[in-house]
Structure 1
Amino acid sequence: MPHTRENPHFPVAVIGGGQAGLAVAYELGRAGSPAVVLDAESATGDQWRRRWPSLRLFTPARHDGLPGSPFPAPRGAFPGKDDVAAYLTQFAEANAIDVRHGVRVTRLSTSPASFTLETTAGPMTANSVVVATGSTSTPHTPAFSRELDPGIVQLHSSEYRGPAHVPPGRILVVGYGTSGAEIAEELAKAGRDVTIAGRPTPTIPKPALAIAGDLWWLAMNRVLNRRTSIGRKAARRATEHGAPLIRISARDVRGAGAREVGRLTGAANGEPTFADGVTRPTPDVIIWCTGYRGDFRWIMIDGLDFDAKGYPVAPFGLPESVPGLAFLGMPFQTSVASHLLGGVGRDARDVATHLVRAGAGPA
């Protein structure tokens, strides 16, 4: 494809303008290889602005900074979602990162000398590409949700905006991770009839987090990573069972007035069914706190393999079969903190260093 104003060419194109994309663009710029960031959002931070009003990070501000930019909040504070959106906006502006908003990449492929990107702004090419869309691009709900009575209002946690925006009636929150616990607690405190389904993930006690928070963060980065045997075991466990509850516990949820039931296993005759076999009153609303999945079906590159869950096979974010291509912000890419605001910087530096040393994209 010829390089023209209509078909622009870039040394490095970063797909995704969230924390991962901004972090790697910063590191590439420092290394003398400025990148263009293609962001499907209308403005930096919009993905955070859409979340529910009370959402807060579960890591304190001292562990929430991107490279070269501490988070502007008291060290022990837990920033809210609008704080994060403002921080990302400021980070992009302060570092003069070239972000092209409203540009969604619909197809990524290779040509003999470069990568080809089909986008909503037209075709582009690049020597190297960083896919920084992470693993939270698509809300996930179980397949059996489609078998439930259509009279039951179903929301994903990504659509939750607070108690006032949830229809009246009995509410079933599905998923007992941090998001599910926080939403169930907030709804119960607002006087709503709430039941939460699932087994709570292990809790990190608040005193332990306060006293040993820095050691905990060090362990998340330096011990619980894919270079250690204990880290590889933790990666498998986190994938299978979910992250621990932080800043909230099952006791808090119960104390707010929410009821607990076992795991939701399916649907029968339009009704939810549970692992214990007990029939319960039909909920009027179900809020799915069942996480997200990455969607990489738009990547059409020969030789790039994907695992059973649809994630690219890319050790430490670098697929050996496709030089010049990298991924960033993946769950447990290097450590348990890899997908977090304050943990992505280390991986961003490694990816940027690799790309700069490697030079151009695929042959």
Structure 2
Amino acid sequence: MNRFGTVVIGGGQAGLVMGYHLKRRGEDFVILEGHPRIGDSWRRRYDSLRLFSPPRYASLPGLPIPVDDCPTRDEMGDYLEQYAAHFELPVRAGVRVTRVSRDAEGFRVETDEGEYLADQVIVAGGSHAVPQRPAFASELDPAIRQLHSLEYRNPEQLADGTVLVVGAANSGTDIALEAVKTHRTLLAGRHPGQVPVDIDSGRGRMMLPIVMFVFRHVLTRRTPMGRKALAEREGHGVTLVRNKLADLDAAGVVATSRIESVRDGQPVTAEGDILPDVGTVVWCTGSGPDHSFLDLPVFEGGRVRHERGVATGEPGLMFLGLEFQFAVASGTIQGLDRDARYLLRQLRQNTVRSASRPVTVDRR
């Protein structure tokens, strides 16, 4: 049996940041990563993906990312792999967690390659693992190709005919701007607002520290402004950061209203207009966490109950990288370090099993 003080589930940026701090404190831990290779969660996104953050804000603690500008998806994936190697973090890649439960010995973590016992479990992955589509998506004509933004890679996947991108936030506008180069493209959804400056310009770079400060320290669960932002965030797309309405108009992307139903196999707008000749629908309608492996009483309304990442009523179970875990920044690279430090302090209070119990550690 593999026994560790802490099992970290997820070897993406959240899991690696947690591992960095656990190792610095000399903790006994292991990181389980379901993908075959560290960084694959980035490499599996669409080909043209580019982060909004320059190196200063795209780096994890202790090691700057070796790029000169906002990293691409592959540069970010490779950096995570380098980060784990640089700090010699105990990551076991290709190990998929199937169930987490509790018994007299502590937490039992079942995987497709055996079981682990742990005093603490930190879930640090899968926050955007489950594609979300409207229920009526299944009513579309089978001849219409459907992709979710998590499945989209490049325009070669698009069928002949009009491309309908549903969801006008960052991923949706990225994909629409790419699709319109080869297809007539419609972009459906409410405009979520946009950053008023070009983030890649000198002025944008000057404003970035202010924006990051607001995301980290102003828009938090402790402030009235932050709690209001959290309430308004439900059901609304994230503000456009790099793309602008003018960019979409200039490229020839046609804006349309929300898609609310299907009639005779075709998508229908909120005004009741049927959109003909659609060959592909790309659903950029969000994604949710995959916590289906947690066989523990921590759910309420389909979501985990937690206080700043510490599971309510389940000592020793924690989360890192959740959307608005503490602040707007929590679900981004910029917020992970602070949230990980907070969880590290909470580990001392864990009473799942006696510290005097002898521990046999598998050091494979």
Question: When the two structures are superposed, what TM-score results if normalisation uses the length of structure 2?
Answer: 0.92
CA deviations 1:80-114 (Å, max 9, x no partner) are 00010011011111111101111111111001230
Cross-structure match for 1:307: 300
Cross-structure match for 1:361: 352
Q: Distance in 2 between matches of 1:153 and 1:240?
A: 25
Task: Mark the CA change 1:54 to 1:292 in structure 2 (over 3 Å): closer, same or farther.
Answer: same
Preserved contact between residue 7 and residue 120 of structure 2 (Cα < 8 Å): yes
Task: Mark the CA change 1:359 to 1:30 in structure 2 (over 3 Å): closer, same or farther.
Answer: farther
Which 4+ runs in 1 deviate beyond 6 A? none
RMSD over aligned CA atoms reads 1.5
What amino acid is aligned across from residue 174 of structure 2 in structure 1? E
Cross-structure match for 1:4: none
Q: CA deviation at 1:352?
A: 1.7
CA deviations 1:222-259 (Å, max 9, x no partner) are 11111111111111222331211001112211211110
Equivalent in 335, 342, 352 of residue 350 of structure 1: 342
Secondary structure in 1 matching 2:41: helix
Q: Distance in 2 between matches of 1:170 and 1:151?
A: 13
Q: CA deviation at 1:339?
A: 1.2
Q: How many residues align?
A: 350
Cross-structure match for 1:228: 223
What amino acid is aligned across from residue 328 of structure 1 in structure 2? L
Q: Is 1:10 the counterpart of 2:1 in the alignment? A: no
Q: Is 1:78 the counterpart of 2:70 in the alignment? A: yes
Cross-structure match for 1:187: 179
Secondary structure in 2 matching 1:342: helix
Equivalent in 210, 216, 222 of residue 211 of structure 2: 216
Q: Distance in 2 between matches of 1:92 and 1:346?
A: 19
Cross-structure match for 2:262: 267
CA deviations 1:107-129 (Å, max 9, x no partner) are 11001230011110112111100
Q: Is 1:97 the counterpart of 2:89 in the alignment? A: yes
Secondary structure in 2 matching 1:343: helix
Q: Which moved more, 1:200-209 or 1:135-144?
A: 200-209
Q: Distance in 2 between matches of 1:134 and 1:341?
A: 15
Equivalent in 282, 292, 298 of residue 287 of structure 1: 282
Q: CA deviation at 1:209?
A: 3.3
Q: CA deviation at 1:322?
A: 0.8
Task: Mark the CA change 1:14 to 1:311 in structure 2 (over 3 Å): closer, same or farther.
Answer: same
Q: CA deviation at 1:202?
A: 0.9
Q: Which moved more, 1:96-105 or 1:203-212?
A: 203-212
Equivalent in 189, 206, 210 of residue 198 of structure 1: 189
Task: Mark the CA change 1:205 to 1:362 in structure 2 (over 3 Å): closer, same or farther.
Answer: farther
What amino acid is aligned across from residue 227 of structure 1 in structure 2? R
Cross-structure match for 2:358: none
Cross-structure match for 1:139: 131
Q: Distance in 1 between matches of 2:329 and 2:341?
A: 14
Equivalent in 28, 52, 62 of residue 68 of structure 1: 62
Q: Distance in 1 between matches of 2:54 and 2:338?
A: 18
Task: Mark the CA change 1:279 to 1:51 in structure 2 (over 3 Å): closer, same or farther.
Answer: same
Q: Distance in 1 between matches of 2:85 and 2:109?
A: 25
CA deviations 1:18-50 (Å, max 9, x no partner) are 111111111111122142001100000011112
Q: Distance in 1 between matches of 2:177 and 2:311?
A: 42
Q: CA deviation at 1:134?
A: 4.0
Task: Mark the CA change 1:348 to 1:106 in structure 2 (over 3 Å): closer, same or farther.
Answer: same
CA deviations 1:249-275 (Å, max 9, x no partner) are 122112111101000112122111111
What amino acid is aligned across from residue 215 of structure 1 in structure 2? I
Cross-structure match for 1:125: 117
Cross-structure match for 2:25: 31
Secondary structure in 1 matching 2:22: helix
Q: Distance in 1 between matches of 2:33 and 2:240?
A: 31
Q: Distance in 1 between matches of 2:63 and 2:214?
A: 22
Q: CA deviation at 1:359?
A: 4.3
Q: Distance in 1 between matches of 2:316 and 2:293?
A: 18
Q: Distance in 1 between matches of 2:28 and 2:239?
A: 37
Question: When the two structures are superposed, what TM-score results if normalisation uses the length of structure 1?
Answer: 0.93
Q: Distance in 2 between matches of 1:35 and 1:282?
A: 54
Preserved contact between residue 305 and residue 312 of structure 2 (Cα < 8 Å): no
Equivalent in 41, 54, 77 of residue 47 of structure 1: 41
Cross-structure match for 2:154: 162
Task: Mark the CA change 1:39 to 1:171 in structure 2 (over 3 Å): closer, same or farther.
Answer: same
Q: Distance in 2 between matches of 1:361 and 1:203?
A: 46
5+ unaligned residues in a row in structure 1: which ranges?
Answer: 1-6
Secondary structure in 1 matching 2:311: coil
Cross-structure match for 1:255: 250
Q: Distance in 1 between matches of 2:38 and 2:51?
A: 18
Q: Distance in 2 between matches of 1:359 and 1:315?
A: 15
Preserved contact between residue 60 and residue 78 of structure 1 (Cα < 8 Å): yes
Secondary structure in 1 matching 2:109: strand
